Chains A and B, each alone.
Chain A
Amino acid sequence: MSSNSVSREDNHSYRFSLNLSRALAYIFLVFVTILSLFSFYLLIINATRSNNELQAGFTLLPSGNFANNLVKALTDTSLFSIPRGLLNSFIVAASSALLTTYFSAMTAYGIHVYDFKGKKFIFTFILAIMMIPTQVSAAGFVQMVRGMNLNDTYWPLIIPAIAAPSVFFYMKQYIESSMPLEVIEAARVDGSNEFRTFNAIAIPMLKPAFAVQLIFAFVASWNNFFTPALIIDTSDNWTLPIMMSVLRSKLNSQNGDLGEVYMMILLSIIPVVIVYLFLSKFIVKGVALGAVKG
């Protein structure tokens, strides 16, 4: 009887401490959520306010100048044209993403399916260079690009995407876990040639990995600032990150229309945020998958 009451009391204090830690956990989670979202909230609010309203003071409530700012941001061509930047960034990011995923999958497939001399060496080599940042070869790369007169074009931003060691590694892991060699053998027996087997049979099997890597590659290229800033010279060809740096430099020396500035920032991040909101489940899973395997 007495032991029973002790255990009930134990249970009671256990439940209390569990509820307390659960409450603390939720409070922390809410805090972190606010931390993550607050700056974006301010960005959206400020994009709805006119320059005068922004100068006058701080508020957390939206105002009615969203459309005004949007028209200004889209039509202002004094420094650059934002619609042009959106288009340029899209061209570069979409092409890089397609090349990265397709050729990384092709390389991973080549290493997984075929046996050839030097395969092990090449695989180890690609793994070893995975961590080396592209910046360290940038000096030679920029010099080469300028030597070939390819500066101010998108080729030097798009073509290198064919060789992406980390995407290759991801694809290799995925192929190993999901593609039995029997399927390829069967296709061969049916008379399919090697390229057709890869394009028509292997790629559909790799769809989930393709989707994840397409998104990551697109976002990485969309956000890339370092290399484009060294290669793209004229404002017509600038991508959005370069435009952001030009906008920043301008605010250094003079005040601009802040409502318009906030709107330009919003316009350059909104495409990725929208894609993310639709595909977030997928993306977060993709990160975790890379983590388990990488």
Chain B
Amino acid sequence: MDKKRKSVSYAKWGYIFIAPFLIVFIVCQLIPLASTVYNSFFENYMNGLDQVGPNFVGFQNYITLFTPKNGNIDILNYAWNTMLMWIMGAIPQLVFSLLLAVIFTSARLNIKGQTFFKTVIYMPNLVMASAFSMLFFTLFSNVGPVNQIIQAMTNTTFNFFLDPMATRSIVAFINFLMWFGNTTILLMAGIMGIDQSLFEAASIDGANSTQVFFKITLPLLMPILLYVAITSLIGGLQMFDVPQIITAGSGNPQRSCMTLIMALNRYIGSGSKNYGMGGAVSVVIFIITGALSMIVFKSMVQGGDKPKKAKKIKGAVK
């Protein structure tokens, strides 16, 4: 009886301990999320100093979002820009990270100074993206050092920020530079999680390092690679700081660098306060990320179970 009373009073403490987290989560994220969705069905914006709405308009905001304007569906263009800049950064990022992770974990190569190299490649990840982008803007601007070198060599300058692919490349390069160190460390953890006896067995069987990489490392790394790729994609969908600073919020040249979140920022910024259209854009982003998150969530639940089972079996054998 004593026991029973105790467990009841402790359950109360459980609720008390998680209460702040849950309350703040509900107030600051769940309710805003619900009101974002709710608002997407209303006309609600500032026209100059006049408040328009809120008036219920059904799916009109979504229809507006996907209706071609001057032959363009802006939101699809922005989605395309976001994806393109993500891919341009993510591919070299994965290649570099995979290569570095293999080099760092190779017992055969036995690389010295690993701590130094890891410290250096991880550093850009912690640097303020907006300041880093500002730096790259100044470096590549018309009066910046890159153009001074081009000028010295060719006697002309190249305006990087008037060329869509050049601007996109700079954005993608910054993203690559900021994230390849992080990805390297994640992949290293993955490689070190692979059963070492497999590598030993392969080397006894006379496999060379290329064979080991393609036949053992890569297949066994697939779940983590998938996790890294999808989380990177979710991060990519949120791309904002770098293109926002690089293009001063315009997304130019020809809005080729306008991303989904930049569009959202334009709608809900203090200028237009267009919570209707902003809500519709948010819902679109939410659906895409939600679908991707489900994949990660599922792979995490699976990935979390498998090693445990494997460990248990190993323990039993011992």
Tell whether A pairs with B: yes
Measured between beta carbons, the chain A residues less than 8 angstroms from B130 are 223, 225, 240-241, 244-245
Q: Is the CB of A245 within 8 A of B268?
A: no
A105-127 interface bits toward B, Cβ cutoff 8 Å, 1 = contact, 0 = none: 01101110111110100100001
Q: Is the CB of A36 within 8 A of B128?
A: no
Check: A255 CB closer than 8 A to any chain B CB. Answer: yes
Check: B62 CB closer than 8 A to any chain A CB. Answer: no
Of the listed stretches A73-81, A204-212, A226-234, name the one at the interface; the rest are far from the partner chain. Answer: A226-234
Residues of A194-250 whose CB lies within 8 A of B = 194, 198, 219, 222-223, 225-226, 229-230, 233, 240-241, 244-245, 247-249
Measured between beta carbons, the chain A residues less than 8 angstroms from B273 are 143, 146
Residues of B230-254 whose CB lies within 8 A of A = 231, 234, 237-238, 240-241, 244-246, 248-249
Counting chain A residues whose Cβ lies within 8 A of the other chain, the interface size class is 35 or more
Check: B141 CB closer than 8 A to any chain A CB. Answer: yes
Measured between beta carbons, the chain A residues less than 8 angstroms from B190 are 291
Check: B53 CB closer than 8 A to any chain A CB. Answer: no
Check: A6 CB closer than 8 A to any chain B CB. Answer: no
Give CA–CA (A43, B135) in the complex, Å.
7
CB distance from A210 to the nearest CB of B (A): 16
Closest to A262 in B: B138
The residue from B16, B136, B141 contacting A39, defined by CB atoms under 8 A apart: B136
Q: Residues on A close to B: CB < 8 A?
A: 18, 21-22, 25-26, 28-29, 32-33, 35-37, 39-40, 42-43, 46, 54-55, 57-58, 103-104, 106-107, 109-111, 113-117, 119, 122, 127-144, 146, 159-160, 162-163, 165, 168, 194, 198, 219, 222-223, 225-226, 229-230, 233, 240-241, 244-245, 247-249, 251-252, 255, 258, 261-262, 265, 268-269, 272-273, 276, 280-281, 283-284, 287-288, 291-292, 294
Q: Residues on B close to A: CB < 8 A?
A: 7, 10-18, 20-22, 24-25, 28-36, 38-39, 96, 99-100, 103, 106, 108-109, 111, 115, 117-124, 126-139, 141, 143, 145, 148-149, 152, 177, 181-182, 185-186, 188-190, 193, 209, 231, 234, 237-238, 240-241, 244-246, 248-249, 261, 264-265, 267-270, 273, 275, 278-279, 282-283, 285-286, 289-290, 292-293, 296-297, 300
